[in-house]
Amino acid sequence: MMVDKGELRDAMRAYRRAEPAAARAAASDAVCRRLADREEIRRAIAERRPIAAYLAAGSELSVDGFIFSAARRPGALLAVPRWNGTAYELAAVREPDGPMASGPLGIREPGPSAPAVDPASIAVWIVPGLAFTADGIRLGQGGGWYDRLLAESALGAAKLGIAYDFQLVPCIPAEPHDVRMTAVVTPGLSVTAQSMV
């Protein structure tokens, strides 16, 4: 089955925008609860290994509830993307309720005083996307920002794609540079990728 990435992106953006605010909030809460229950998350916090997440933009599901709750737990080390002038890097979330800067794409991010975090040190990645398949293929916004960050991740790092249930699709064309997710977490289910690269 041929799938056009541009058409799929447009369709998923439209579906996400159509979600009422109350439904988006409920779905975000459900995803945050699922994340808090995941073994790889609990292990990373117990071992004081960093977790990389994202601060939602637009109609993305928000994982703020998880980030700001987890960041208060002893041993938790959280990082989110921050624009450094030429590319996205990871920066530590030091004060969960503290002020955030606004990046060039309008995405909230830690200010310049927050220390950078090495992507190779991340134990668990929590990654947004427009669509995912059950075998871990991710369709991003099209800029390749996350693919470049994920390319620097450690071999054994868990990569959790975050999506609405409707964003789990049968087929997405994969490119050689695409980094597959190890699992996809939605409000209704968690799917462990059937094949991983």
Residue 192 has pLDDT above 70, yes or no: no
pLDDT in tens, 86-110: 889 999 987 655 667 888 777 888 8
The secondary structure element, H or E, covering residue 150 is: helix 145-150
Among all chains, which residue has been given the structure tokens 């624009």? Answer: 83
CA distances from 98 to 45, 93, 176 (A): 21, 9, 39
The pLDDT of residue 190 is above 80: no
Q: So what's the pLDDT on residue 141? A: 85
Q: Which of 41-45, 125-129, 133-137 has the highest mean pLDDT?
A: 125-129
CATH number of 5-192: 3.40.50.10420
Residues counted in the chain: 197
- Beta strands, E only, 68-176: 78-83, 88-92, 101-102, 108-109, 116-117, 124-128, 131-132, 138-139, 158-162
Give the CA count within 13 Å in the CB-facing half-sphere of 110: 24
pLDDT tens figures, 33-88? 999 889 999 999 889 999 999 998 889 999 988 887 876 777 678 999 999 888 89
Low-confidence winner among 2-6, 63-67, 146-150, 151-155 (lowest mean pLDDT):
2-6
Neighbours of 185 (CB within 10 A): 25
| pLDDT value at residue 173 | 84
Q: Where are the domains of the chain?
A: 5-192
